[in-house]
Amino acid sequence: MKDLTNKVAVVTGAASGIGLAVTERLVREGMSVVMADIEAPRLEAASARLIEAGAPVSPFVVDVADAAQIDALKDHTLATFGGVHLLMNNAGVANGRQNYKSSPAEWDWVMGVNVLGVAYGVSAFVPIMVEQGEGHVVNTASEAGLCSTAMLGPYHASKYAVVGLSETLSLELEGTGVGVSCLCPELVATRIFESTRNAPASLGYPTPGEIPVEQLEGFMKTVAMDPADVAADVTYAVRANRFWILTHQVTLARVHQRNDNLEAGRNPRNPVSSKGV
């Protein structure tokens, strides 16, 4: 989809971080954007700021893990802007726990948002794009969907699933005029480490006030990529119909290392510490 002007995008997770930066970028490219997010006050504030500046955006509160709410998002998009050309399935959460320490309810939450949210978006919007013979889907996976650490079990599992879903979707859509991209960033300066703010209360995570947010934000700003740079990469990939969006140089080296282990039949290993342990 080389020309984005006067076309319509739907971005999930648009109230913060990567989704908000992509929304701002797409507006500059001439698109109308439905901003979808579960966090109503932030969504309201972000969309109001953009609307005041003259941007054609429309906020919609949605839990992407609920298929009926995604259908309502589709109806809202068609009623508001009369069509859809670009879908960015971007909403995502991390529970920050290892596999064997995560409860069934935590698994439901992470897989519901990160995997089913993407799947429901595809089911709702892609048939419209195929019918019109034009469109593009960007699914936000992660470097965590290409190589593993011992830190983020369910998150890794969910992001590997998004990579698999995206690859197969791309094969399914060959020749339809609908492109697919899979975004796999390493660290980006967003609120991802505060994900539990949007978890169901029944999971019993600390309330946002109990999380040392300033510390997290300071850390992210010093070591992580600016979301605006990720947004530039996303726009480029949509125009060029590029599947892989790898934002960080380190990612390919890690993927090579994983493939080397796989070819050599070596078991996964944690990185060796400086003491050689």
Residue 244, beta-bridge partner list: 182
CB of 65 to ligand NAD, least distance (A): 5
Residues 6 or more apart in contact with residue 223 via CB below 8 angstroms: 187
Measured from the CB atom, the residue of 135 and 185 that comes closer to ligand NAD is: 185
User: Contact region for ligand NAD (CB under 6 A) — 22-30, 61-69, 121-129, 171-179?
Assistant: 61-69
Candidates 23, 35, 47, 92; binder of ligand NAD (CB under 6 A) is 92
Q: Does 192 bind ligand NAD (CB under 6 A)?
A: yes
Cα separation, 113 vs 107, in Å, equals 10
Annotated catalytic, 155? yes
Q: State which of residues 8, 27, 33, 37 lies at the interface with ligand NAD (CB under 6 A).
A: 37
CA pair distance 141, 136, nearest whole angstrom: 16
Strand partners, 94: none
Binding piece for ligand NAD, criterion CB under 6 A, among 15-23, 173-181, 202-210, 251-259: 15-23
Specify burial of residue 240 (Cβ count, 10 A radius: 0-12, 13-18, 19+). Answer: exposed
| Site residues (CB under 6 A) for ligand NAD, limited to 124-143 | 140, 142
25 lies in the site for ligand NAD, by CB under 6 A: no
Query: Is the Cα torsion angle 31, 138, 18, 95 positive or negative in sign?
Result: positive
User: CB under 8 Å to 48, separation ≥6 — which residues?
Assistant: none
Establish if 153 lies at the interface with ligand NAD (CB under 6 A). Answer: no
Looking at the chain, list the stretches that DSSP marks H as alpha helix, in order from N- to C-terminal side.
17-28, 40-52, 67-81, 104-111, 117-132, 153-172, 213-223, 227-240, 250-264
Q: Please work out the total of residues on this chain that contact ligand NAD, with binding judged by CB under 6 A.
A: 30
Q: Of 16-24, 70-78, 79-87, 257-265, which segment contacts ligand NAD by CB under 6 A? A: 16-24
Show contacts with ligand NAD in window 212-251 (CB under 6 A): 224
Q: How many CA atoms lie within 13 A of 250 on its CB side?
A: 9
**In the complex, minimum distance from the CB of residue 128 to ligand NAD, in angstroms, rounded to a whole number:** 20
Binding site for ligand NAD (CB under 6 A): 12-13, 15-19, 37-39, 62-65, 90-93, 113, 140, 142, 185, 187-188, 190-192, 195, 198, 224
- Tell me which residues are annotated as active site: 155
